[in-house]
Amino acid sequence: MITIGDKVIFRGEHWGSLVSVIGTVIEDHGNKVVIQDDDAETDDERLEFKKSEIKLLEEVYEKED
């Protein structure tokens, strides 16, 4: 379950596997969350995703090891 404070990752399926966003969940709106992008290139570092589009970062790295 993804909650506020969790470190999450989004990997873009539509743009290829090279596109990913890593950030911390700062708002929880039920089936959507707002994350603070760790590597934002603009002043707007807040991004909204459906929970089904993101995964906990620690789970992704555990599966890849």
The more confident residue out of 63 and 11 is 11
At residue 15, the pLDDT reads 53
Task: Give me the residue spans of the domains in the chain.
Answer: 7-64
pTM of the model: 0.83
Residue 14: its pLDDT value, please?
62
**Residue among 16, 24, 18 at smallest CA distance from 57:** 24
Cα distance between residue 35 and residue 49, in whole Å = 8
pLDDT reported for residue 17? 61
Give the pLDDT confidence score for residue 7 in this predicted structure. 97
Taking only the tens place, the pLDDT of each residue in 10-32 is 987 665 566 789 999 999 999 99
Alpha-carbon span 23 to 11, nearest angstrom? 12
Sign of the alpha-carbon dihedral angle for 1, 34, 26, 55: positive
